[in-house]
Each structure stands twice: as C-alpha cells, then as structure tokens.
Structure 1
Amino acid sequence: MSVFLYIIRRVASALAVIAVIAMAMFLIFFMTPTNPAQLMCGKPCTPERLAQVSAFMGTDLPWYSQLFNYLQGIFVGRTFGDSASASAIVCAAPCLGWSFALNEPVTGLIFSRFPVTASIAIGAAVLWMIIGVFAGVLQAVKRDSWIDRLIVAISSIGISSPTYLIGLLAIIAFAVYIPVFPTGGYVSFFANPFDWAWHLLLAWIVLALINGAFYARITRSTMIREFGKDYVRTARAKGMPDSHVVVNHALRNAILPIFTMFGLDLGGLLGGAVITERVFSMHGLGSLLLDAVKTFDLQVLVGVTLFSAALVIIANLIVDVCYCLLDPRAAKVAL
C-alpha cells in the first residue's frame, strides 16, 4: 500500500512541476523586451500592420491572457487569428505554439526531430551503462591492481575531454582517414535499420566513452563500499563463489544509485544532445533549439524547452517508481 501511495504522490508531484515549468518558461520568454510581432512584421512595418500581426499572434493581449491561451492550447488546441477568417491558423492539441517563421506547429516540429535525438540518446545510454558498470565492477574486484589503475587513467581522460573534441577526433580518424564510419547524417530506422545503426554507431561510442567514465568511477566506489559491509563478508564466509557474491549481492545493492543517475542523464540527453547533433550533422531537438535561438522564434523556444523539461521530469518519475519497486523501503522512508 505504501508503494502505491508513493507512486500516486510522485505522479501528482511530477504533473505539478510540469505545470509550473510551463508557466515559468512562458513568462520568461514572452516577457522579454523583443516583440515577436515586430520580428514577423518585417521591414518596413507600419503601425497598422504591426497591430494586425500582434492581433493575429495574440501578443496584443495581457500576459495573463496569453498564458491562459497557451495552457489552453496544450489541452484543447487553439486558433491564431479570427476563427471566422480564411487566414486563421488552427493548432490542434497538444499545441505547444505555432512557428510563424517556419509556418508549422511547434508540436509537429518537435515530433519530427525527436526520433533523431531519441536514437542518439537511448543507444548511447545503453552502451555507456554497460561499459561503465562493467568497468567499475572490474575495478572494484581488481582494486589497486594495474587493471584498476589503467581504467582510472582512461576514465580521467574521458571525464576531462569535451564531447565536441572527442567527436571531431573520432570523425577525422574513423570517417576521413580510415573511412569505416560515415561522417554524419541520420537515416530513419524504418527506412533501413542497418544504415540507421551504422550512422549512429560512432556518436554512440563517443557518448558512451565520455559518460561511461563517470559511471565506472561511481560503480567502483559504490561496489567497494558494498564489499565492506557485513552481508558481503557473511556471504563469503559461507563459501559462496566470488562471482555470486559480486553479482547477486554487492552489485544488486550498488546498482540502485547508479540506476537513479542513469535515468536523469538519459532524460537530459533526450531533451537535446546539442553538441553531439552538431558534430555529427544530425538534426534533432538540439539543432531545432539552436535554430530557434538564431531566428528568435519564441514559440519554438518555449515548446522545445518545455518538452525537454517534461522529459527530464518523466525520466525522474520512472526512475523513482522503479527504485521504489526494487526497494520498497524507499517508499516507506519517503512517506
């Protein structure tokens, strides 16, 4: 019962946080001195034309009316301009705004770019989780050996190296001088699954090496801490094989904080791998956000930011629920 109550409480909390973020993002971006209607009006722009554009976009309304219209659009959709006019734009729910620069709904832009970002993030996350946890467990088992010191040195390089540098070096080495991988670009999974994975593999490896270095260090420290606890010493005193003690006892408890961090990192990466997308010429959410910054497309800026924040919150929610199911004691403590 405590687990069920904890899940209900976390879901309600996540929805409340998303609502607060939606209002905050809208107010931050739309209360800036720059007038979106002025940008769309172009030059020359007469006062009469500016008033027409402002009325069409809805920016002539008070801020609270604009906020209400924006939140209403998310749930039931909204119409830009006079609904009786032929020039009116209907934005179906969930409407995160309308990009007047691209003449497309923001939701459609996000959904068209999200598969690229999701492909990068999920593939890299699975790879770095496997590499990081395996390396960390190996370090803990071989503590203070040459293997431990070697992995520590490699991890230090991965942690201290920026993503764009490793990505560029990887492209130069394995796509230009040794043309094993393509230089970049994205192929849809449904068009050709093999080409999809082949175009993403180098980006996956780069992100896995960098993020896996963090996971290796954390796994090493948590495993060493678990090795020093009474239940591990008792299992070894009973004559259990080391592999059984490491995997079924120590790793089972050490993986919980790592799993929590994994969910947060994956959620953040799903929100837009800006640097990785630019380096490998892939047009995902990160590229969409940068393009919106360049053109000052406020509707896209708010929509992508809100969508990215929601992904992080949802990922955090899923991790908390899974953590609670794996260790019901966490729910009792939280309640």
Structure 2
Amino acid sequence: MLRFLVRRVLGAIVILLLISAVTYFLFFALPADPAALSCGKNCNPQTLALIRKNLGLDEPVPVQYWQYMIGIFLGRNMTIGHCSAPCFGYSFASQQPVWSTLMNRYPTTVTLAAMGALIFLVIGVGLGLISAARQGTAFDKIASAVSLTGQSVQIYFIGPLAIYLFADTLGWLSRGHDPDWTHDPVGSITGMILPAMVMSVIFWSNYSRQTRSLMVEQLSEDHVRTARAKGMTSRYVFMRYALRGAMGPIITIFGMDLSSVFGGAIITEYTFGLHGLGQLAVSAVTQTDLPLEMGVMLFGAAAIVIANIIVDACYAVIDPRIRLS
C-alpha cells in the first residue's frame, strides 16, 4: 500500500509541474500585455519599462518561470518587497500577495465542493441502490424520470429558482453566503446548504442512474446467484456482494468527476454571489493577472490531485488488485 501511494504522489508532483509550466508559458502567448494595461492610455516607453521591471516582466520567460518556482519553495525578493514561502508572487492588479488572497478565498470553494459532493453521493447512490432493489416498481420509474430531468437542467437556471422558492418565498434556507468557520461555524454550514444542493442536482442525477445500472449488473453475476443458492438472505447478498462490486466503479467515476465538481462550484459561486476561487479566477483572466492566474490554477490542480490520491487509496482498499497496477 505504501509503494502504491508513493507512486501516486510522485506522479502527482510531475503533473503539477507540467500544469505550472504549460500555464506559465501559455500566458505569454496571449496578445495582451499586463504592463501596457497597467500603464494606461498616456503611456511612454520609460514608464512602460519601469512597470515591466516592477512586475518582473523584464527577464526572459524561462528565467521568470524558474524564479517563480523557486519562490514557491524558498521565497524570493521582489521589487515590491520580500515574498515569504510559499511565494506565488504579488497580484498585478491589487499588489496583494497571491497566497494570502488564496487563503481568504479557498474556504468558500472547498466548502461548497465538499458539501455538494457529500449531498450528491448520499442522494445519488442512495436512490440508485433503492431503485436497483425495487426494479420495475413505481419508485424505480419515478426515480429514473427525476434523474433524467436533473441531468438536463443547468445550475444558472435552477439556482435563481431555488433562491426565489426556498429563500425568498418559503424562507426555509439562506440565500447563501461565504463561510466564516472561525466566528460562525453553524452559520457557515447553513449558509452553504442551498448553493451546495443546487450544485449537486446534476451530479446526483447521474450517480443515481450509474449506481442503479451497476447494481443491476452485479445482481445478475454468477457469484451473487451462488450466494443466494446457498441460502443467504437477499439483504446480505445485496450489501455484501453486489454493493461491494459496484462501489469500485462508483469511486472511479467520482475521481474522474472531481474536476467537474470544482467547475460546478465556479458557476454556483457566480449564481449565488459567493466570493470563492472561481470568481477570483475569472477576475484574474479578465485583468491579465499572471500571478493570480497561476496561483488559482496551481491551488485548484493541487486540490484535485490530492483528492484523486485519496480516491485511489480508497479504491485500493476495496480492490487490492489495484495496488499492483
């Protein structure tokens, strides 16, 4: 198990290095010049050169990238001041450290993604299991219809409807606000319930259908029929044999969907006016803010990679054969 995890961690480091290199060099392929944008309309060559130096854009691109990567681990001295490790530089637009900006924004996105994932796994897998156990019944048909409907809607469509119905009209839930885990942990949870539920609709609809399909397939396997022939109860066979066989593919699908979960979190943040990494990423792109773009990209990629390693570990526990791959 340890060797399996070490291989996954080493692979994750390589992936993050490749992502950082591609993102950094693609930035300089853009037609926009951040120094020219900061300089304004009445810009002269001397002012432009000074701005480029202050932004650290006067060095060759490979040198800039090397200094950037060194700064992440060791810190670096910049014209705006010393940047302690982990140094992701200073935002071109706000002149604030990128790392502190990320630390202020990440709780919203991580909370939304975690709560949304928990909701769609519980609802989706639960509905799928019940539908598989009650194949052909009215519940199975209704659950399938609801799942198909859920997959066809979009967050920006059901988000405003959910706010109007559950927050403004019925008053059951909050409209959604950024979490403050230090001063109001309970409010942090209640304030994210509605956004997380809206974000989870598309996902649990898919997981419900996937789980039902996998369970029906498992229930028709030879080893399940053999277990039943030996006199084991239907509930024991369902939970002990069929469910365990179906959980492996479900975990794999969840690992593949992690990037989609963060993508859904970005759209949900804009729908509910939350201040997370998604809103920060869009702001960085529109302002051609390289340090902020890199910070959000690496932070999000690292979160997804770490989550995938955890998913792989869970899969290896369920199916020991995976450890040998």
Please state which band the TM-score falls in when normalised by the shorter chain: over 0.9
Instruction: Output aligned runs, 1:1-335, within 5 Å.
Output: 3-81=1-79, 88-266=80-258, 268-270=260-262, 273-332=265-324, 334=325
Residue 136 of structure 1 contacts residue 217 of structure 1 at CA under 8 Å; is this kept in 2?
Answer: yes
What stretches of structure 1 of length at least 5 have no aligned partner? Answer: 82-87
1:265-314: CA deviation from partner (whole Å, max 9, x where unpaired): 34553477111111111100001111222322222112211221222222
Secondary structure of 2:176's aligned partner: coil
Q: Deviations over 1:149-203 (max 9, x none)?
A: 1011000111010011111110011112222222232241222222212211111
The one-letter code matched in structure 1 to 2:32 is: T
Post-superposition offset of 1:320: 1.5
SS in 2 for 1:189: coil
Secondary structure of the 2:183 match is coil
The aligned amino acid for 2:138 is W
Instruction: Verify the 8 A CA contact 2:92 2:290 in the aligned structure 1.
Output: no
C-alpha contact 1:186 1:199 (8 A) present in aligned 2: yes
> 2 CA distance for matches of 1:253 and 1:44?
67
Letter in 1 for 2:130: L
- The separation in 1 between residues aligned to 2:272 and 2:159, in whole angstroms, is 8
Residue deviations 1:86-117, cap 9 Å, x none? xx322211122210211211111111100011
Evaluate the alpha carbon distance shift between residue 314 and residue 264 of structure 1 in structure 2; reply closer, same or farther with a 3 A threshold: farther
- 1:191-217, Cα deviation, whole Å (9 max, x unpaired): 222221221111122223221111101
Aligned with 1:61: secondary structure? Answer: coil
Amino acid across the alignment from 1:188:
D
The separation in 2 between residues aligned to 1:95 and 1:187, in whole angstroms, is: 25
- Counterparts of 1:231 and 1:74, CA distance in 2: 53
Equivalent residues, number: 325
Long gaps (5+) in structure 2: none
Aligned residue for 1:93, secondary structure, equals coil
Aligned sequence identity (%): 39
Paired letter, 1:51 = A
Report the TM-score when normalising by structure 2.
Answer: 0.95
* Residues 3-30 of structure 1: per-residue CA shift (max 9 Å, x gap): 3333222211111111111111100113
Q: 1:131, 1:208 within 8 Å by CA — same for their partners in 2?
A: no
Distance in 2, matches of 1:58 and 1:113, equals: 25
**Gap change, CA 1:115 and 1:102, over 3 Å in 2:** same
SS at match of 1:167: helix
Separation in 2 of the partners of 1:77 and 1:183? 40
Give the whole-Å Cα distance in 1 for the aligned partners of 2:49 and 2:247: 59
- Residue identity opposite 1:115 in structure 2: P
Listed one character per residue, the Cα deviations across residues 110-143 of structure 1 (whole Å, up to 9, x for unaligned) are 1110001111111111111111111011111111
How far apart are the structure 2 equivalents of 1:111 and 1:186? 13
